[in-house]
Amino acid sequence: MSMHEIEDLVHLSVVALDRHYPAEDGRVRDWLVALYEFQRRFDCSHTQGRVEEILIRRKHTYHAEPPREVKLIDLAVAVAVAAEAQGDSDLIAGWYELGYQTLVGGVVFSVDELAEMPAVATLREIVARTGYRPSDEERDDELEAWWYAVSVSA
């Protein structure tokens, strides 16, 4: 059984990045590689065929130069910027709902530590502007309460 939510999130992100960023923006290739690295963490089918033309045009598949490493939180911000410009608040929410543990990775010890991360601040600003509303289950501890309270306090 495939994780269709992740497959769809990646697919929609590829399309949003391609539509928003100029053809000559080399960061898109790095983001595309990072998207499929993220997808490989889950039980997903091979989905590149859905967007094969974009992947080839953006040199995801055929390019001798290795891609630059991209942090997942930075990828989420790039997608959120594109999605906001395209009016796709569901795509933004899809990334934000992954939570700080997934997007930031590593160990975060405090709200202050999260709040000081520029990419987190940027993502929260976009989320606040687009009206994301968390569920009660998403407010389990202090860090999660802060992460998901963006629409309430921001």
Question: Domain containing 134: what range?
Answer: 72-153
Same domain, 51 and 78: no
Assess contact for 147 and 100: CB atoms under 8 A.
yes
Q: Would you say residue 80 has pLDDT above 50?
A: yes
Handedness of CA 41, 35, 107, 95 (dihedral sign): negative
With a cut of 80, say whether residue 24 has pLDDT above it: yes
Dihedral angle over CA of 37, 43, 49, 50, nearest 10: -100
Most confident of 35-49, 53-67, 77-91: 77-91
Each residue's pLDDT tens digit, 110-145: 999 999 999 999 999 999 998 876 666 656 678 887
Domain boundary among 57, 80, 99: 57
Q: How confident is the model at residue 154 (pLDDT cuts 50, 70, 90)?
A: very low
1-34: b or e for each residue (b if 16 or more CB lie within 10 Å)?
Answer: eeeeebbebbbbbbbbbbebbeeeeeebbbbbbb
CB of 103 closer than 8 Å to CB of 73: yes
Q: Is the per-residue pLDDT at 105 higher than 70?
A: yes
Tokens of 47: 């989905």
Looking at the fold, whether 51 and 115 belong to one and the same domain comes out as no
Asked if 31 contacts 69 with a C-beta cutoff of 8 angstroms, the reply is no
Residues 113 and 51 in one domain: no
3-state DSSP call for residue 5?
A: helix
Same domain, 42 and 91: no
Q: In total, how many domains does the chain have?
A: 2
146 shares a domain with 93: yes
